[in-house]
Amino acid sequence: MCYWEDDIAQNKDPDYDGGANGISLNNAKENFFKYGAIKREFLKNVRKPLDDESL
């Protein structure tokens, strides 16, 4: 949906911009609400959330 890969380090420290995603969890959340993906370049790889999926 948003192209985020779960990362334990980023869950513990949402401002950490290393790890699996190369962007902090907090920045990814901001981008998701702006663009619909954690980064603009991933827009072609994502879809809108289904009605039964939480944001």
pLDDT score of 29: 92
User: 7-50 pLDDT, tens per residue?
Assistant: 999 999 999 998 889 899 999 999 999 988 999 999 999 888 88
pLDDT score of 1: 66
Break the chain down into helix, strand, coil percent, rounded to 5.
Answer: 40, 0, 60
Domain enclosing residue 39, as ranges: 1-55
Answer for the pair 1, 29: CB distance below 8 angstroms, yes or no: no
pLDDT score of 14: 96
54 pLDDT more than 90:
no
Please state the domain count of the chain: 1
Q: Report if pTM > 0.85.
A: no
pLDDT score of 3: 78
